A and B are shown apart, each in its own frame.
Chain A
Amino acid sequence: MADSEEMQANALKGQISIRRARAEDLDQVIALDAKVTGLAKPEYWQDIFERYATRRLDERFFLVAEGSESDDGTILGFIIGEVRGWEFGSAPCGWVFAFSVDPGTRLRGVGESLFDAISDRFRGAGIQTMRTMVARDNRLHMAFFRSEGMVAGPYIQLEKSLDD
């Protein structure tokens, strides 16, 4: 049964449009990322835009969520992913490596709209599995991806401090 938050999110989802990122969106993407992470990285985002929004577009997806006219067409969130094959012996799968939603618009269904849109793009590219990586202490993202049906995959990420 949908609770009131869920019904509100569903109603608002219709007012969001998802499309590929354009060069003129970049300043808003940089600002949104800086707002969420506390660190502006213009050169990084310029590079990401060139790699994921201008080349091999059949398997690279840099999508933005654009608000309705009442939001002045503001970029409310973005998601970036690509098809990667044979890393660590894995058959091709869709990797989501960047995802952000404006904190002021959470619970409006922006994240779910972006997630659904990139899932559809991956399906369209013939991909059946989508993966991502989340910091263990990032409860917000972890809970979001779980609610979308993501579960622990067949790989475990390992690391080693090189100072040891």
Chain B
Amino acid sequence: MQKSSRLAIFALLELASDPERQVSVSDIGEKYGVSAHHLAKVMHTLGRAGLVRSIRGVGGGYSFVGNARRVTLLDIIGLFEDISPACAPRDPDAPTAEKALCQVEAEIDDISKATLGSITISTMLKNIRRIEERSARALQEETAG
């Protein structure tokens, strides 16, 4: 996954965790250790895709306006990367080894897309909560023990 895609996912998760809140580019950039310049370009793309809205002025920033239960990781990645099949249909005269390798690449590509296409922002937020709860329980048990 490319850096812009990862960054877009982090930014959307940050914003979608509280759609009422407006967060500045510099706050998100600071949290994930990236330059405001790079993040601004990512946010612009997310804005054009209708996933975030920019509010200008004091206390302004970005807020999430997409549908967290519908937007998947694959949808987000597709805004920044070419997600067409890794191995395009080949010339029938291509070497057999190339066809065999293409079959393997297509298998990996199918599984990756099925995974990324089934995980929504809402699911990611639930997963984050589950990880946090698990860590809190582990800490509690460690303290008690």
Contact = CB atoms under 8 A, between A and B. Distances in A.
Nearest to A137: B114
A75 to B, nearest CB: 25
B108 to A, nearest CB: 12
Contacts of A3: 19, 68-69, 122
B118 A146 contact: yes
Interface in B18-34: 18-19
A139 B117 contact: yes
15 contacts: A1-B17, A3-B68, A5-B69, A6-B69, A136-B114, A142-B114, A142-B117, A143-B72, A143-B119, A143-B123, A146-B118, A146-B119, A146-B120, A149-B127, A149-B130
Contacts of B97: none
Contacts of A90: none
Q: Indicate the size class of the contact surface on chain A.
A: 10 to 19
A147 interface: yes
A143 B127 contact: no
A20 B18 CA distance: 39
Q: Indicate the size class of the contact surface on chain B.
A: 10 to 19
A1 B117 contact: no
A152 interface: yes
Nearest to A135: B114
A1 B110 CA distance: 32
B100 interface: no
Nearest to B130: A149
Interface in A62-92: none
B123 A147 contact: yes
B122 A136 contact: no
B115 interface: yes
Contacts of A147: 120, 122-123, 126
A-B pairs, top 3 by smallest CB distance, nearest first, are A142-B118, A136-B114, A147-B123
Contacts of A137: 114
B111 A136 contact: yes
Contacts of B130: 149
A137 B118 CA distance: 10
A139 B69 contact: no
Interface in B51-86: 68-69, 72
